[in-house]
Structure 1
Amino acid sequence: MAFIPAVSLVGVTARSSSSVSAADQVSLRRPASTVGHTLPQRRRVSAAPAPPSVAAPTMVFSAASPVAAVKAELMAAIAPTRLGRAVASDRRAQEKIDAIVRRLEALNPNAVPVESADLGAVWKLVYTTSASILGTSRPPPLRPNDEIFQVVDLDAGTVTNSEQLAGGLLTNKVHATFGVKPPMRVQVQFQRFQFGPLSVKAPASAKGFLDVTYLDDEVRVSRGNKDNLFVLLSPKGLSNLI
């Protein structure tokens, strides 16, 4: 789902000057209802304290493996990009990162990512190509900082994206429900947009989808319906960062 989406990760029509496009907010969700499809045992995720922020992601693993090596290469590549802001106008740099992501996607351990219990977590966005999520077109005070999270609750079938702005004094949130279309598609229906203390009901047209193209218990990669890329880390993934 996008933050990220996004979490951004981390890919609609309702917005404000400080809001994120709903399509890009499709960073991830779990089925509120999936007709004719048996769902796996789900893990409830607490939205309580968000994982600690890390300045420069560099993945470190205790054992070498092809997957670990690609994840480490990806984290090293995105570390200097500030969630993607530093390469927002550099298509070549984005393509280099995308090439690493595609190598990781080819090693996806989950044949049906949207049915995996790993989906339920407090995900932190660490990279995206979504200008809407990054807020590059907003006035500086309304641009989010690096604290962009997505909480996926598999039991409730809900996803909540959150971003901090104005020096951390203001928090915006997007609340949504979701369903899945195996093996990797997540379909999101937005319910409410929250801008600081203000809350606005989302219109019925506020919906979107994304594909979960890589998922394990540390890293999630999603591609939104606006062709944006989202890379997110779970608390376990964040614990492997230095």
Structure 2
Amino acid sequence: MIGKASLLEAIAGTNRGLLATDSDKNAIAVAIAQLEGYNPTPKPLEATALLEGNWRLLYTTSQELLGIDRVPLAKLGQIYQCIRTATATIYNIAEISGLPYLDGLVSVAARFSPASERRVDVKFERAIIGLTRLIGYQSPDRFIQDIEAGRKFAAIDFNIGNSDRQGWLDITYLDEDLRIGRGNEGSVFVLAKK
């Protein structure tokens, strides 16, 4: 699809948005809007086979996520959003590299519930922030298995209270390997299935 290739070309070299200039951001916004107009999955919440899986972030306008890279001695690595439709759970995992032996991650687990054919309400439940070697982090799948097994980690690991963090996400484009979403804070997310 030409629109998809145009979007991927526009975001190439922006390091998920960290290096995007204003001109880049405008071109990417146009490419996203054009692709959303051709969404092959108008009811994405019914397409659980497409939604399910680990998604790697290609681009975002979320300053909250991109801001992780501004922490001294930290460099933002891969960012994943892992969706488990059977349990209506989302796991956001940001890998962080730092000084030797100080690689870490920031992770948030949330529950989602359908609000419309393409919108989910999201309720954040647990946050985990720590060093990968102390957590035993090897991959998103293994980490999620440990969380679902009820493991407490040697990290900052806490439950998020009921009223602390909630939001919504519109899934505006979904195919077998690309997903675009728009969040309640105005952020855009472009992800590729891992």
TM over 0.5: yes
Distance, in Å, in 2 between the alignment partners of 1:149 and 1:112 is 23
Secondary structure of the structure 2 residue equivalent to 1:178: strand
Question: Which residue of 95, 104, 127 corresponds with 2:59?
Answer: 127
Asked if 1:148 is matched to 2:82, the reply is: no
Aligned to 1:99: 30
Q: Which has the higher strand share?
A: 2
When residues 149 and 136 of structure 1 are mapped into structure 2, their CA distance, relative to the original with a 3 A threshold, is: closer
Q: Quick check: 1:115–1:182 contact (8 Å CA) kept in 2?
A: no
Aligned to 2:144: none
When residues 156 and 136 of structure 1 are mapped into structure 2, their CA distance, relative to the original with a 3 A threshold, is: closer
Instruction: Specify every segment of 5 or more residues in structure 2 that has no aligned partner in the other structure, as ranges.
Output: 131-154
Distance, in Å, in 2 between the alignment partners of 1:131 and 1:143 is 15
TM-score computed with the length of structure 2 as normaliser:
0.80
Corresponding letter in the other structure for 1:70: G
Aligned to 2:17: 84
Q: CA deviation at 1:198?
A: 1.7
Q: Quick check: 2:68–2:74 contact (8 Å CA) kept in 1?
A: no
Distance, in Å, in 2 between the alignment partners of 1:137 and 1:77 is 21
Distance, in Å, in 1 between the alignment partners of 2:30 and 2:46 is 26
Distance, in Å, in 1 between the alignment partners of 2:52 and 2:68 is 29
Q: Quick check: 2:10–2:24 contact (8 Å CA) kept in 1?
A: no
Q: Quick check: 1:141–1:165 contact (8 Å CA) kept in 2?
A: no
Asked if 1:184 is matched to 2:118, the reply is: yes
Aligned to 2:135: none
The correspondence of residues 11-90 of structure 1 with structure 2, limited to 5 A, is 68-87=1-20, 90=21
Q: Deviations over 1:12-57 (max 9, x none)?
A: xxxxxxxxxxxxxxxxxxxxxxxxxxxxxxxxxxxxxxxxxxxxxx
When residues 136 and 198 of structure 1 are mapped into structure 2, their CA distance, relative to the original with a 3 A threshold, is: closer
Q: Which runs of 4+ in 1 moved over 4 A?
A: none
Distance, in Å, in 2 between the alignment partners of 1:210 and 1:95 is 22
Q: Which has the higher helix share?
A: 2
Question: Which residue of 222, 231, 234 corresponds with 2:181?
Answer: 222
Aligned to 1:174: 108
Q: CA deviation at 1:171?
A: 1.6
Question: Which residue of 204, 208, 213 corresponds with 2:162?
Answer: 204
Secondary structure of the structure 2 residue equivalent to 1:93: helix
Q: CA deviation at 1:134?
A: 1.1
Question: Which residue of 30, 37, 47 corresponds with 1:116?
Answer: 47
Corresponding letter in the other structure for 1:210: L
Distance, in Å, in 2 between the alignment partners of 1:132 and 1:179 is 23
